[in-house]
């Protein structure tokens, strides 16, 4: 039986790969019991977060719910950007994201933010850097 995401589809393999990379501390491609226990706890924390922001109990996060969640996490993003995130991470093309895609979207956003922050020297949400510096920051997120 495949891992399910709560809305009847298989768990996003990108999310699984990301989590394994995050918790496979020894880098052997497998998870020992300690690594798995840490991963399980991490997923449980994300599930609690997801349920908190899934206000209508649909099992998915809408644009409005995602905007509320990200705002509470400290992100100040436009409705247009939130819509872009939904389109990017919505594998079912229903205008909503399931639990696993919510996790992936939030972790990707945090990783991108972490790559951006060293270049935002004034801490005002703006940065100026060369193309190569941009690529370096981007590759730290995607590679």
Q: Show the domain range for 84.
A: 13-21+48-142
> How many residues are there in the chain?
143
Q: Let me know if residue 6 belongs to a domain.
A: no
Tokens standing for 10? 């298989």
Q: Let me know if residue 30 belongs to a domain.
A: no
pLDDT, tens digit, for every residue of 85-126? 999 999 889 999 999 899 889 988 888 888 888 889 999 989
Please report the DSSP string for 89-126 in residue order. Answer: H-TTSSS-EEHHHHHHHHHHHHHHHHHHGGG-TTSSS-
What CATH number did the domain enclosing 124 receive? 1.10.238.10
Is the pLDDT at 78 greater than 50, yes or no? yes
Q: Let me know if residue 39 belongs to a domain.
A: no
Max avg pLDDT among 1-10, 22-31, 78-87, 88-97: 78-87
Is the pLDDT at 1 greater than 70, yes or no? no
Cβ contact 63:80 at 8 Å: no
Q: Let me know if residue 34 belongs to a domain.
A: no
Cβ contact 99:5 at 8 Å: yes
Q: Let me know if residue 123 belongs to a domain.
A: yes
Number of domains comprising the chain = 1
Q: Let me know if residue 28 belongs to a domain.
A: no
Neighbours of 50 (CB within 10 A): 22
Cβ contact 5:100 at 8 Å: yes
Q: Let me know if residue 37 belongs to a domain.
A: no
Tell me the backbone φ, ψ of residue 4, rounded to 5 degrees.
-105, 155
Q: Let me know if residue 74 belongs to a domain.
A: yes
């Amino acid at each position: 039986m495949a891992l399910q995401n709560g809305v009847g589809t298989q768990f996003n393999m990108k999310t699984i790969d990301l989590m394994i990379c995050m918790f496979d501390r020894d880098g052997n491609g497998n998870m020992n019991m300690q690594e798995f226990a840490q991963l399980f706890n991490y997923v449980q924390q994300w599930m609690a977060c997801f349920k908190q922001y899934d206000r209508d109990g649909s099992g998915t996060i809408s644009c409005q719910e995602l905007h509320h969640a990200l705002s509470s996490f400290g992100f100040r993003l436009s409705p247009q950007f939130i819509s872009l995130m939904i389109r990017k991470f919505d594998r079912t093309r229903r205008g909503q994201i399931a639990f696993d895609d919510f996790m992936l979207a939030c972790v990707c956003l945090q990783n991108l933010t972490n790559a951006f922050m060293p270049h935002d020297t004034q801490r005002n949400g703006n940065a100026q850097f060369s193309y190569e510096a941009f690529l370096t920051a981007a590759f730290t997120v995607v590679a």
